[in-house]
A and B are shown apart, each in its own frame.
Chain A
Amino acid sequence: MTQSAASPDAAGPDAVFAALGDPTRRSLLETIGQRPEVTATELAADLPISRQGVVKHLQVLAGAGLIRAERVGREQRYRLDAEALGDAVGWMLRTGAAWDRRLDRLRRDLG
């Protein structure tokens, strides 16, 4: 796995605010935060915009240091870099997503 992440130190607060100012990017961030990692194609499947449009939003989020991109084979996979949102909010995003996954397994087990 090769890493091609935007450096968290490279973006300033302006980039973070600009990235969070768009509702589509907030929606993407929410979805990325709920999964260990995800591709642009998977994200586009749930949205009324093209994969190309999703990629542009992802580039803004990566430029702000809010997500990280990793190339796995031919795929670019994205994951949340929650530290850019602050440690407390980052913890909430990671921990909330982890409990969502756990309770999904529990529901399947009891179903």
Chain B
Amino acid sequence: MTPCTITRTTEVAAPLADSWDLIGTARGLARWLGSDLRLEGDDEVLAVGSVATVIDDLGAMRRLVVTDLDDGRRIGFTWWDDADPGLASQVTLGVEAARAGTTITATETVDAAALGAAGGRASALVPAAVHDLTAADLGWGDRLDRLARRFEPCLALVGV
């Protein structure tokens, strides 16, 4: 498996317990993960094996299955777009006490092979760049600059 990973870290000026309430509970996740989140079944408490439906902010429906729960610290789930169930990704959300509040980390990983990385017009140039682009927590400007540098030999070939 060749993983393709996105990591985002943010610090909030809120106590760890308040941050965890938004990360580790269905009611909390429903307030920010998408426009809506509903747990399946009667259970209102998230646990390993819990199944939920998430409507994301662009209106797409996603299915979510909780795969890992370390109460007060970390939750992991697998989710996928209902319209593309073959492309599931793994998400981990973690909270950690910081000097001025809480550090929240979100990581999403997908198998690059599942993305069809071998296909597509420009993707023949991309696989070698993917690791470089995903190795560090970069801003989008840095990612695109790295991508452009990868393409420099090709740009020279086509006279750009």
Contact = CB atoms under 8 A, between A and B. Distances in A.
A88 B32 contact: no
A85 B155 contact: no
Contacts of B58: 36
A91 B4 contact: yes
Interface residues of A, number: 42
A106 B108 CA distance: 17
Given A36-B58, A88-B130, A92-B133, A110 B18 contact: yes
Interface stretch (B6-14, B42-50, B68-76): B6-14
Q: What's the dominant secondary structure at chain A's contact region?
A: helix
Interface residues of B, number: 50
Contacts of A34: 140
Contacts, number: 135
A23 to B, nearest CB: 8
A20 B154 CA distance: 11
B106 A99 contact: yes
Contacts of A98: 56-57
Contact of A21 (B117, B126, B133, B155): B155
Between B13, B31, B57, B122, the greatest number of chain A beta carbons within 10 A of the residue's beta carbon is seen for B122
Contacts of B121: 8, 12-13, 16, 65, 84, 86
Interface of A: 8, 12-14, 16-18, 20-21, 26-27, 29-30, 33-34, 36, 65, 83-93, 95-96, 98-103, 105-107, 109-111
